[in-house]
Structure 1
Amino acid sequence: MTRFLNDDFLLDTGEARRLFHEVARDLPIIDYHNHLPPAEIAEDLHWSELGTLWLGHDHYKWRVMRWAGIEERLVTGDADPRDKFDAFARAMPRMIGNPVHHWSHLELWRYFDLDGTVLSAETADRVWDVTRERLAQPDFGAQGLLTRMKVELVGTTDDPLDTLEHHAALRGAPWRVVPTFRPDPAVKIDAAGFSDWVARLEAATHPIRGFDDLVGALETRLDHFVAHGCRAADHGIDRLDAGAEVAGATLDAALDAARAGRAVAADDAASWRAALFVALGRAYARRGLVMQLHVNALRNTRTRLLDAAGRDAGADSIRDIAVAEPLNALLDRLDRTEELPRMVIYGLDPTRNPAIVTTAGNFQDGSVPGKVQAGTAWWFNDQLDGMEDQIRTLSQMGLISTFLGMLTDSRSFLSFPRHEYFRRLFCRIVGRWQVEGHVPDAPDMLDALVRDVCYRNARDWFAAPGAD
């Protein structure tokens, strides 16, 4: 019988074992997209117990706890952290088959040296005591946790109005924490809060009387981000639509209506979004930044949970709508004038992987290897089948050698073993290719492929020397 999460977990060939243990395992981590709070890193926040550290931000864990029958008070409510931890421990045996079961044990084993301990109601006391003892040590704060996992770069996700004071405070740290420009509030002209956010942008920059003024204000904030080491922008695009190209006067009228509290017609809102994506894409291209698109999420769908726990509490789904036509239209508008930035496209609907990969292939122009990327399997798909499907599609319809590899997309400081999870799977895939004769029996070439996908490609895009 094979031991649970043993040293050769997922590594089912000798070739895979060699690739992981000799090549991938000890590579540094470039986590170019996550949601870690930069203030907690700058302050080197320490936690006294695992309940808050583990369950305070992690909506992956919240979802499976609810599914296991745990009441909300013990998930996001006001229960004591120990009670929440005990509830999670009781539910753990029910999570078999879900990636949270693997991730949680990897987190316990890699950070707290609890190798072989399987979390359950029976082992909860021991896990609680061992982790409390470890967390009391000086090097187990936010910064120590990053160092322990060999993290070289953390790309946080930040509102354009953020002062970035915490990023400034971290300059000179042994790892880099860089901001990522996330201007979703400016794009969502038909959403609640748009007018208030634009007023705050105006106060921070200059008067905004029309579309061009708003773009200029966003570029002012973008330059502030670049001065603080920003290497990328990110857009959460719940629904991507092509949007007709319209005159500036139409965009100005839409802005006037939204700021006055009047409804913006659906067609005008679509045109606004399309125009702003193009304007910002051009701004990113001029500054050498990467433009990331996260598409097809259906967010905050459960009203009662939204009212009780707020946004991003784990009531989100895959949005099953087509992306190929609007995505090609957006990229073409940028490419026509040779102002297409390097781009990463993450799709939440796995059935759209071929559409995203083939769209990326349309806009390779020879200037940069993999200039337009099909991003790693995201959110509901960063499990074994989802990642393998994304890798297989990219390999057969594009070039896996230019792939940027894994990221955590996480709010948890304990999520970095997900890189190990990905690396083990990738080495299994490449090892099988080698055994089955799908690739040459050329260890140096395959070693280079693994290093590129697991580390070097992302390093070169997001953490190259002199990037900031």
Structure 2
Amino acid sequence: MRATTGQFARRLLPTDTLTGDIAAELLARIEDAPLISPHSHVDARLLASNTQFRDPAELLVTGDHYLTRLLHACGVDLDRLGVGRPDADPRQVWRVVCSYWHVFAGTATGYWMAEELAGVFGIREELSARTADDVYDIIQQHLGMEAFRPRALFERFKIDVLATTDDPLDDLEDHARLQADGFRVLPTFRPDRLLDPEAPDFAESVNRLLATTSTAATFGGYLSALEQRRQYFISHGGVSADHGVFDTWTADLSPMEAESLFARVLSGTGDTNEIRLFRAHMLFQMARMSVDDGLVMTLHPGVYRNHSSATLSRYGANTGHDLPVTTTFVEGLRPLLERFGLERDFHLVLFTVDETTFSRELAPLAGFYPSIYIGAPWWFLDAPDAIGRFRAAVTETAGFYRGSGFIDDTRAFLSIPARHNTARRADAAFLARLVADGRVSMAAAEHIIEDLVDSIPKKAFKL
């Protein structure tokens, strides 16, 4: 049975009449509000060049590791999906996806794709082997239109601000060009490869940093070079520094200890414990720099990167084999919070892919430290049901106002409005239940739902 337009409009809202009507009323207040995206992985070059999207496979499949990983699990070789194969036939890639589309039933990926096809292209036909070519042709026809170039879609999506995630040595010319043209696309300082001695070419990267900033090859010079690059990002509109780390261990070392440790890891002679200690101290230093220069510090820990060495070797990173691990915050962050946790203008946004920490650690931390904000459900937890679990886990301890607002955290540009709409619907549903239960007044819920998409992310990210 095909869903009616009315059913489609009420998707993700409670099915009982009372709560569903409340949720629909709340959603109506913010469904078309501008999008604030303070953390994404959209490449600024996409918008700066404004080049026409080539085909549906490139646009919706090849770079979306959410989608390709499940197909790989179902026995589809990544080669057949065009991963690492620029010569792959895009129509054949699309046919493969459509023939396996039934495996995405109930997944966030399936929901987002349906939202994208309906919202961007007006396609509500179920994907299948039978419909693959017709849907491909409709999308391809649209991609040839001026209205479907990246900048036109940026405006159509009503994106108020979009923050990208950028290499610390990027010249940021694309951002300067976009801002000159009136697009609020902000760079985010992502220094992981300069802070982790186990990163590929760590010493080479650090030496390039020192050469770029004309600083000495000492720990003090290294810190000064990082500070200079942060200032460069700030001068180009940057508001945050993002850190993708394995764990949240932090350590405060003396200048002498740090200098000696820096020399060992830079020369490649540091052992496993020293490497971990260096990472911990640099996380501490990044917090110190955020206190000094005002950049919001966002922390994305708890991911085992490149779990499949064979896949990494054949296809590279970000191809679907990153996996969540158990993550803790309270003990590891204590040295950092002892020094900086009560600083008035320090903002530390904590994300997790371990949802057991929401009520046990993140909500209590954000419920005390004025510097801590709870990052929105991220990666494996950004699905509709997981967003509801997140709200239930953190709200009773930290309320609604100690969060970051929704974060789409996506490379898939076309999925941004779908992801934000998902979060808005999930929040409307959660608030509606509180209203129906008599726990929150309708007036308060209306105020909260508007703040969740506007003042809350603006405050957390100093926008």
* Fold conserved between structures, TM > 0.5: yes
CA drift at 1:208: 3.0
1:9 counterpart residue number:
11
2-structure distance, mates of 1:228, 1:71: 41
1:37 counterpart residue number:
43
2:109 counterpart residue number:
100
Alignment partner of 1:250 out of 238, 251, 257: 257
Does 103-112 or 73-82 show the bigger shift? Answer: 73-82
1-structure distance, mates of 2:290, 2:181: 26
1-structure distance, mates of 2:274, 2:58: 44
The Cα RMSD (Å) is: 1.9
Distance 1:389 1:208, change over 3 A: farther
1:241 has 2:281 as partner: no
2-structure distance, mates of 1:66, 1:158: 28
Partner SS state of residue 241, structure 2: strand
Does 100-109 or 323-332 show the bigger shift? Answer: 323-332
Residues 97-246 of structure 1: pairs in structure 2 closer than 5 A:
97-114=106-123, 116-243=124-251, 245-246=252-253
1-structure distance, mates of 2:365, 2:345: 13
2-structure distance, mates of 1:278, 1:72: 39
CA drift at 1:329: 2.9
Give the letter aligned to residue 38 of structure 1. A
CA drift at 1:359: 1.8
1:280 has 2:313 as partner: no
Does 316-325 or 176-185 show the bigger shift? Answer: 316-325
Residues 43-82 of structure 1: pairs in structure 2 closer than 5 A:
43-75=49-81, 76-78=83-85, 79-82=88-91
1-structure distance, mates of 2:129, 2:454: 38
Partner SS state of residue 351, structure 2: strand
Please, what TM-score do these two structures have when normalized by structure 1?
0.92
Structure 2 alignment gaps of length 5 or more:
15-19
Q: Does structure 2 retain, via aligned residues, the 8 Å contact 1:180–1:232?
A: yes
Partner SS state of residue 453, structure 2: helix
Partner SS state of residue 350, structure 1: coil
Deviations 1:188-210 (A, max 9, x none): 12444210110110110023332
Distance 1:463 1:352, change over 3 A: closer
Deviations 1:266-323 (A, max 9, x none): 3433332232222222222222221100011111010111011101111011111433
Q: Does structure 2 retain, via aligned residues, the 8 Å contact 1:282–1:340?
A: no
Give the letter aligned to residue 36 of structure 1. V
1:298 has 2:304 as partner: yes
2:268 counterpart residue number:
261
2:447 counterpart residue number:
448
2-structure distance, mates of 1:407, 1:148: 19
2:17 counterpart residue number:
none
Partner SS state of residue 367, structure 2: helix
Q: Does structure 1 retain, via aligned residues, the 8 Å contact 2:405–2:457?
A: yes
CA drift at 1:460: 4.1
Q: Does structure 2 retain, via aligned residues, the 8 Å contact 1:210–1:251?
A: no
Length, aligned pairs only = 451
Distance 1:250 1:403, change over 3 A: closer
Give the letter aligned to residue 92 of structure 1. W
Partner SS state of residue 143, structure 1: helix
Partner SS state of residue 30, structure 1: strand
Structure 1 alignment gaps of length 5 or more:
365-370
Does 372-381 or 188-197 show the bigger shift? Answer: 188-197
Deviations 1:88-141 (A, max 9, x none): 111111211111110101010111011x31111111122111111111001211
CA drift at 1:172: 3.6
Please, what TM-score do these two structures have when normalized by structure 2?
0.93
Partner SS state of residue 152, structure 1: strand
Give the letter aligned to residue 87 of structure 1. V
1:368 counterpart residue number:
none
Distance 1:77 1:230, change over 3 A: closer
1-structure distance, mates of 2:268, 2:290: 30
Percent sequence identity over aligned pairs: 28
Q: Does structure 2 retain, via aligned residues, the 8 Å contact 1:281–1:340?
A: no
2-structure distance, mates of 1:3, 1:15: 22
Partner SS state of residue 85, structure 1: helix
1:367 counterpart residue number:
none
CA drift at 1:414: 1.0
Deviations 1:184-236 (A, max 9, x none): 12221244421011011011002333222111100111111001000111000
1:411 counterpart residue number:
411
CA drift at 1:340: 6.6
Partner SS state of residue 376, structure 1: coil
Give the letter aligned to residue 372 of structure 2. V
